[in-house]
Amino acid sequence: MKRAGDRIAALTCYDFPLARIMDGCGVDIILVGDSVGVVMAGHDTTLPVTMDDMVYHTRAVVRARPAALVVADMPFLSYQVDPRDACLNAGRLVKEAGAEAVKLEGGVAMAETIRSVVTMGVPVMGHIGLTPQSYHRMGGYRVQGKLEDQAERLVADAHAVQDAGAFALVLEGIPQKLARRITSELTIPTIGIGAGPSCDGQVLVIHDILGLCEKYSPKFVKRYAELTPVISGAVTSYVTEVKDGTFPTEGHAFN
């Protein structure tokens, strides 16, 4: 798609019904992100997400048999300690959960790990820039690569990920000029989130584009729907009708 100049549309998804809906809309990549911990489980960061959480949610998405490529995130501590853990856990996401590829965060420091997982036969998507699993090192969710030396380090990270065999690279929370440079230097596609319009593709969190996540609304998110009032309207009507006796009617019952 990069060579043909076709832009790649990726979205996160964590469950069966949304995977079914999304797949009919032409999404190219469904990412079962570890953002599940924040948007579905209510944690403040992605750090508490476990391998079992990722297997459970990836299975639910895979059950929808999407035509889109299903990429499962490797959660914190499932790959950072040594490449052997990374291989075993990436293998679990493929074998037990049905993922077609995995994503992990980090550049130069993760190159050996990426190479091991790719060598084992599991495609890897890289992820650099604002890497949420490094929340404490970054001092919070902050745009990365604003200073020249940081930007040069991110360029080196991008090349290391590509050279290690990754098939694509997520660029999160970096200046658009830097994303443009990395995108033009790499042969693998870049998928941006808060990285401007020059990336080869874009990814957003599904709850953010549907207006279902009240917690954070970062500048880079575009809300394509406001579902919170729709859901709350439906639930309020249900509660009212149960309480005033207008639901159920005889038509909702068996004879």
Catalytic residue among 112, 172, 241, 250: 172
Least Å distance, CB 233 to ligand KIV, is: 28
| Residue with smaller CB distance to ligand KIV, 92 or 127 | 127
| Residue with smaller CB distance to ligand KIV, 111 or 168 | 168
Q: Can you tell me the distance from the alpha carbon of 96 to that of 108, in angstroms, rounded to the nearest whole number?
A: 29
**Interface residue list for ligand KIV (CB under 6 A):** 12, 31, 33-35, 73, 127, 170, 172, 193, 203, 205
For the chain, where are the alpha helices, taking DSSP H only? Answer: 16-23, 36-39, 51-62, 83-95, 111-119, 135-138, 148-163, 176-185, 206-209, 227-244
| Residue with smaller CB distance to ligand KIV, 199 or 203 | 203
Least Å distance, CB 36 to ligand KIV, is: 7
Least Å distance, CB 128 to ligand KIV, is: 11
Nearest residue to ligand KIV on Cβ basis: 33
Cβ(106)–Cβ(156) under 8 Å? no
Determine the Cα angle at 109 with ends 55 and 114, to 5°.
45
Reply yes or no on whether 172 is catalytic: yes
Strand partners, 31: 12, 71
Q: Can you tell me the distance from the alpha carbon of 107 to that of 141, in angstroms, rounded to the nearest whole number?
A: 18
Least Å distance, CB 220 to ligand KIV, is: 10
Q: Which residues are catalytic, by number?
A: 172
